[in-house]
């Protein structure tokens, strides 16, 4: 089965069965009758349930806090001096909690043992046809708004202590709840908010930056045309992070899919199709439990620019931590941030920008060239990082992004090979292709360190297609001395002329 057909299957489940029920969606939306002070205190129509899970039994709903019944707060052992996490699930085919719920609850308690972790149960409304469940987000959002407002009023519970986490449709539930509460919830985390039906919807129907003091969002499955994308494509928070470009996550490819089907059988199909979508949750869990392996994301205009290594700056809040420890930077416009990750937990990788200038006497251009790079540092080695460089051409500077899952420490040496095409092209047959290279500049995203690497032997080296490895070592010339020389030139000549040697 091709990737395409799996996709179609998913949408089949999602929509095709159910287009008719779109006519029903208006029924599900609440009628907006006037008195805004009283509806939020009317608990008679609340259908969602609020289960206080415990660290001991994170997998079971043992105790529900019921709005309007203050004794249930004490009865469930709600800790009024602790912070509270409210977890909201999304659409479900099976009508049961998905396996991530217990994982997230456990991770929250592992990180914050004193906290209250509540799970919102709206399973009955979440197992309808997708468009019906999508429309129900309005009612569930109202339920959640009533619940947190009541809890706050009942206990004089500080709003700053409430952090709502919503996955898929649950992210929009969180947004609607935040929009309806009179005072702002302190933080909403949107975990791959659902796309279909929401991409073009207004701020009141979706998660948006107005819904909490701070809204952070992870986008992990945003493939296809906007309203058909499982995850919403546009930014909907203060900080919107797109791991691996946001479209598709490593480890979720067809090969893994086939292997999972082979080992686990077809009833896991559901899990497999959602791999990238659900990755948003596992990235957040990772940030809770692997504190010493904190992933960093970098602000960038486009994912193409990011993939060229052009966005590894941390100046002026251009980088931020992914997940629990995010810095709550609120700019007027949503900020798009990117990072690469590993295919499994811990997800952290180290990012590097590599720049080099290619000289030649002949005009030549090569498209999509395979390159392998080895990084050697004070702590370790990352060997044979394979990548495809979009273009190599005469007298131009190339820049690309490299990642290493190994923490190599301070970079000392770099080895590079320009590989042969996998097929025999005519041009590489009758002429040897090569460029001259003098040095490399490398910037490390995680440490913000920059360094220049020069040819190990001699002054300049031939980078030959299908040829030998070329080796660069960290040069004495560091960024500070380069700046000094630039300042010196500025003083001497009154302008900073372009360095032809990059």
Ligand X SMILES: *[C@@H]1O[C@H](CO)[C@@H](O)[C@H](O)[C@H]1NC(C)=O
**Catalytic residues, which ones?**
168, 192, 277
CB of 387 to ligand X, least distance (A): 25
CB of 459 to ligand X, least distance (A): 14
Contact status: 359 vs ligand X (CB under 6 A): yes
How many helices (H) and strands (E) the chain has is answered by 13, 20
Helix (H, G, I), strand (E, B) or coil at 328: coil
CB of 91 to ligand X, least distance (A): 15
Pairing of strands 212-218, 185-191: parallel
Alpha helices in 197-237 (DSSP H): none
Choose, by CB under 6 A, the member of 4, 16, 20, 255 that binds ligand X: 20
Binding-site residue total for ligand X (CB under 6 A)? 19
Choose, by CB under 6 A, the member of 395, 427, 496, 499 that binds ligand X: 395
- For ligand X, the closer CB: 7 or 15: 15
Q: 100-111 vs 275-289: helix axis angle to the nearest 10? A: 20
List the structure tokens of 249: 């996550």
Pairing of strands 439-444, 396-404: unpaired
CB of 16 to ligand X, least distance (A): 14
Residue 415 and residue 472: Cα distance in Å, rounded? 6
- For ligand X, the closer CB: 27 or 77: 27
| Segment contacting ligand X by CB under 6 A, of 49-57, 256-264, 305-313, 355-363 | 355-363
CB of 318 to ligand X, least distance (A): 33
Q: Where are the beta strands (DSSP E) in 162-302?
A: 162-167, 185-191, 212-218, 239-243, 296-299
Ligand-binding annotation for 211, yes or no, is yes
Residue with tokens 């701070």: 214
Per CB under 6 A, contacts with ligand X among 198-257 are none
- For ligand X, the closer CB: 18 or 83: 18
DSSP state, 41? G
- For ligand X, the closer CB: 131 or 193: 131
Contact status: 361 vs ligand X (CB under 6 A): yes
Contact status: 287 vs ligand X (CB under 6 A): no
Return the closest-CA partner of residue 219 out of 200, 239, 196. Answer: 239
Q: Where are the beta strands (DSSP E) in 209-340?
A: 212-218, 239-243, 296-299, 319-321, 335-339
Q: Please, what is the Cα angle at 276 between 247 and 128, to 5 degrees?
A: 110
| Segment contacting ligand X by CB under 6 A, of 17-25, 190-198, 402-410, 490-498 | 17-25
Per CB under 6 A, contacts with ligand X among 362-381 are 362-363
- For ligand X, the closer CB: 332 or 498: 498
Please provide residue 297's backbone torsions phi and psi, each rounded to the nearest 5 degrees: -115, 155
- For ligand X, the closer CB: 129 or 282: 129
Per CB under 6 A, contacts with ligand X among 94-153 are 132
| Segment contacting ligand X by CB under 6 A, of 16-24, 153-161, 253-261, 341-349 | 16-24
List the structure tokens of 2: 């091709």
| Segment contacting ligand X by CB under 6 A, of 204-212, 268-276, 354-362, 489-497 | 354-362
CB of 134 to ligand X, least distance (A): 12
| Segment contacting ligand X by CB under 6 A, of 248-256, 259-267, 360-368, 479-487 | 360-368
Choose, by CB under 6 A, the member of 21, 54, 313, 334 that binds ligand X: 21
Residue with tokens 């500049």: 441
Residue 273 and residue 9: Cα distance in Å, rounded? 9
- For ligand X, the closer CB: 38 or 225: 38
Residue 188 and residue 435: Cα distance in Å, rounded? 51
Please provide residue 484's backbone torsions phi and psi, each rounded to the nearest 5 degrees: -60, -45
Return the closest-CA partner of residue 135 out of 101, 173, 109, 97. Answer: 173
Residue 388 and residue 381: Cα distance in Å, rounded? 21
Per CB under 6 A, contacts with ligand X among 22-81 are 24, 27, 35, 37-38, 42, 44-45
List the structure tokens of 85: 């996490």
- Upstream peptide bond of 346 is cis (omega within 30 degrees of 0): yes
| Segment contacting ligand X by CB under 6 A, of 19-27, 90-98, 152-160, 302-310 | 19-27
Return the closest-CA partner of residue 322 out of 246, 239, 443. Answer: 239
CB of 229 to ligand X, least distance (A): 24
- For ligand X, the closer CB: 35 or 263: 35
Residue with tokens 């309808």: 128
Contact status: 393 vs ligand X (CB under 6 A): no
| Contact (CB, 8 A) for 298 and 319 | yes
CB of 128 to ligand X, least distance (A): 7
List the structure tokens of 347: 């997800």
Annotated binding site for Ca(2+): 211
Known binding positions: 211
Q: Rule CB under 6 A: which residues touch ligand X?
A: 20-21, 24, 27, 35, 37-38, 42, 44-45, 132, 359-363, 394-395, 500
């Amino acid at each position: 089965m091709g990737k395409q057909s799996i996709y179609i299957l998913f949408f089949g489940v999602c929509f095709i069965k159910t287009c008719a029920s779109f006519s029903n969606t208006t029924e599900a939306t609440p009628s907006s009758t006037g008195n805004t002070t009283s509806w939020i205190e009317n608990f008679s129509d609340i259908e969602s349930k609020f289960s206080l899970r415990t660290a001991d039994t994170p997998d079971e709903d043992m105790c529900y806090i019921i709005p309007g019944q203050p004794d249930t707060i004490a009865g469930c052992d709600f800790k009024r001096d602790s912070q509270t996490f409210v977890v909201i699930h999304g659409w479900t085919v099976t009508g049961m909690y998905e396996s991530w719920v217990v994982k997230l609850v456990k991770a929250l308690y592992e990180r914050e043992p004193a906290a209250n972790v509540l799970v919102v149960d709206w399973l009955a409304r979440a197992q309808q046809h997708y468009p019906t469940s999508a429309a129900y987000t309005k009612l569930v959002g109202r339920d959640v708004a009533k619940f947190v407002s009541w809890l706050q009023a009942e206990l004089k519970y500080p709003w700053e202590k409430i952090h709502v986490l919503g996955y898929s449709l649950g992210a929009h539930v969180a947004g609607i709840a935040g929009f309806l509460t009179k005072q702002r919830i302190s933080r909403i985390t949107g975990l791959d908010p659902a796309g279909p039906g929401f991409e073009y919807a207004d701020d009141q129907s979706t998660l948006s930056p107005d819904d909490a003091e701070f809204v952070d969002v992870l986008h992990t499955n945003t493939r296809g045309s906007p309203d058909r994308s499982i995850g919403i494509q546009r930014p909907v928070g203060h900080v919107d992070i797109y791991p691996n470009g946001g479209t598709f996550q490593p480890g979720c490819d067809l090969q893994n899919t086939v292997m999972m089907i082979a080992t686990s059988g077809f009833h896991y199909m559901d899990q497999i199709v959602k791999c990238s979508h659900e990755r948003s949750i596992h990235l957040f869990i990772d940030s809770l439990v692997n504190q010493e392996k904190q992933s960093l994301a970098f602000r960038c205009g486009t994912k193409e620019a990011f993939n060229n290594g052009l966005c590894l700056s941390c100046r002026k809040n251009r980088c931020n931590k992914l997940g629990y420890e995010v810095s709550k930077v609120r700019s007027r416009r949503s900020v798009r941030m990117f990072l690469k990750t590993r295919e499994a937990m811990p997800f952290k990788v180290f990012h590097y920008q590599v720049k080099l200038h290619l000289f030649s006497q002949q005009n030549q251009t090569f498209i999509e060239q395979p390159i392998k790079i080895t990084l050697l540092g004070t702590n370790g080695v990352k060997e044979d990082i394979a990548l495809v460089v979009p273009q190599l051409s005469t007298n131009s500077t190339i820049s690309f992004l490299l990642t290493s899952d190994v923490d190599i420490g301070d970079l000392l040496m770099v080895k590079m090979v320009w590989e042969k095409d996998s097929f025999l092209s005519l041009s590489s047959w009758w002429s040897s292709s090569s460029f001259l290279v003098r040095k490399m500049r490398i910037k490390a995203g995680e440490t913000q360190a920059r360094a220049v690497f020069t040819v190990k032997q001699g002054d300049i080296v031939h980078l030959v297609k299908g040829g030998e490895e070329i080796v660069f070592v960290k040069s004495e010339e560091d960024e500070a001395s380069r700046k000094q020389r630039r300042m010196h030139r500025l003083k001497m000549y009154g302008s900073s002329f372009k360095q032809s040697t990059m």
